[in-house]
Amino acid sequence: MRLSELSRRSGVATATVKFYLREGLLPPGRRITATQAEYGEEHLRRLRLVRALIQVGGVSVASAREVLAALDNDSLDQNDRLGTAVWALPHGKPADLDDPATETARQRADRLLERLGWGYGPLTDVTPPAYGMLVNAIATLERLGYPCAFEDLEPYARAMEQLAVNDLDLVERYGGTADEQVEAAVALTVLYEPVLLALRRLAEAEESRRRFGTH
């Protein structure tokens, strides 16, 4: 397909597609003349991923390039490619090590992960950025005086375990090659987070209606 069709099928403006090409977020097409190139389905799939990262996920061009580099690294196995790509996504500010709440939060996060049997945390060789997100979130709860003991956090973690199973089941049902599955996993990580937030709020509204509603 030509650039104009790639733009039409992806819903991304031609100027934006050209920008992504210049920035290396999209591989060059097959040159057919001095001024024209031809693009395939792999370009369309990659363009949709870039759009999910930048336009929906708010990922910077630099971070998107890092994610894509991990996806294209054939020296990594499927698990490492996915992990490296997801770790390159934005994860908020680093924890404030001078804040006393941070140390308390770190201890609670470590206890939670240990009880869950998840192989992450500062005492392991693998510490994903999401660990820092968790520490920051617990520190904020602690700082503001809201419940954040192990007993408060564990039900959320157990629910996330099931969600992770659903996520990867969805990726496997998506089918395609290993490359397509890893790309889908990254895209769905970004695209499903707003779905999860919306469903949680709707579920809370429904539970509130059941518990406290007058009708």
Residue ranges per structural domain of the chain: 3-87, 100-212
pTM over 0.85: no
Question: Please, are residues 121 and 127 in contact by the beta-carbon 8 Å criterion?
Answer: yes
Which pLDDT value is given to residue 121? 54
Question: Please, are residues 53 and 12 in contact by the beta-carbon 8 Å criterion?
Answer: no
Average model confidence (pLDDT) across the chain: 87
The class (CATH top level) of 3-87 is: mainly alpha
For 47-100, the pLDDT digits (tens) are 988 988 888 888 889 889 988 888 888 888 888 888 877 887 877 777 776 788
For 140-190, the pLDDT digits (tens) are 999 999 999 999 999 999 999 999 999 999 888 877 788 888 888 888 888
HEC per residue, 126-175: CCCHHHHHHHHHHHHHHHHCCCCCHHHHHHHHHHHHHHHHHHHHHHHHHC
For 102-142, the pLDDT digits (tens) are 999 999 999 999 999 887 655 456 678 888 899 999 999 99
Which pLDDT value is given to residue 19? 93
Question: Please, are residues 109 and 148 in contact by the beta-carbon 8 Å criterion?
Answer: no
Q: Report CA-CA distances (Å) from 66 to 24, 70, 73, 137, 197.
A: 11, 6, 11, 25, 26
Q: Report CA-CA distances (Å) from 83 to 17, 48, 70, 135, 189.
A: 27, 20, 9, 19, 11
Which pLDDT value is given to residue 215? 64
Locate tokens 């996520």: which residue?
Answer: 167
Q: Report CA-CA distances (Å) from 119 to 29, 63, 113, 114, 166.
A: 41, 25, 8, 8, 20
Residue 27 has pLDDT above 70, yes or no: yes
Residue 33 has pLDDT above 60, yes or no: yes
Residue 214 has pLDDT above 90, yes or no: no
Rounded Cα gap, residues 1 and 16, in angstroms:
17
Q: Of 9-13, 42-46, 105-109, 125-129, which gets the smallest average pLDDT?
A: 125-129
Which pLDDT value is given to residue 138? 94
- Burial label, 81 (beta-carbon count in 10 A; 0-12, 13-18, 19+): buried
Higher pLDDT, 201 or 76: 201
Question: Please, are residues 17 and 55 in contact by the beta-carbon 8 Å criterion?
Answer: no
Amino acid at the residue 138:
I
